[in-house]
Amino acid sequence: MIKYRKQLLKGSIADDVKQKIFDIANTYGYEIIAMETEKDHIHFLLSYDTIDRVCDIVKIVKQETTYYLWHKYGSLLSKQYWKKKIFWSDGYFACSIGEVSSATIQKYIESQG
């Protein structure tokens, strides 16, 4: 979720965030199965190695996308936030799909936005 629930994930920012997350996934060996943005948050279904920890994946995604967005949209973001290098809120929600099929989760994510 975006810090202070600001509705910034639209247009080119949303497209750039998604592309950056795909780039991160390729770099670290994760597979993005589905991803969609809302105006103030993002959903993605991710396949990753069991030795990786979700908290580390989230940390990488938040850090790298924040740095990228401030580099590209610094003038816009400086009007939204009083402190530099802020974009995402501190928390996140993650769950494993367990008994629900990945197709069901993928359909849910793709219906967002």
Q: Measure the CA–CA gap between 16 and 33, rounded to whole angstroms.
A: 18
Residues in a beta bridge with 88: 2
Cα separation, 103 vs 84, in Å, equals 38
108 catalytic, yes or no? yes
List of residues 6+ apart from 108 with CB closer than 8 A: 43
Catalytic residue among 28, 73, 81, 108: 108
Residue 41: both structure tokens together:
């948050």
Catalytic residues: 108
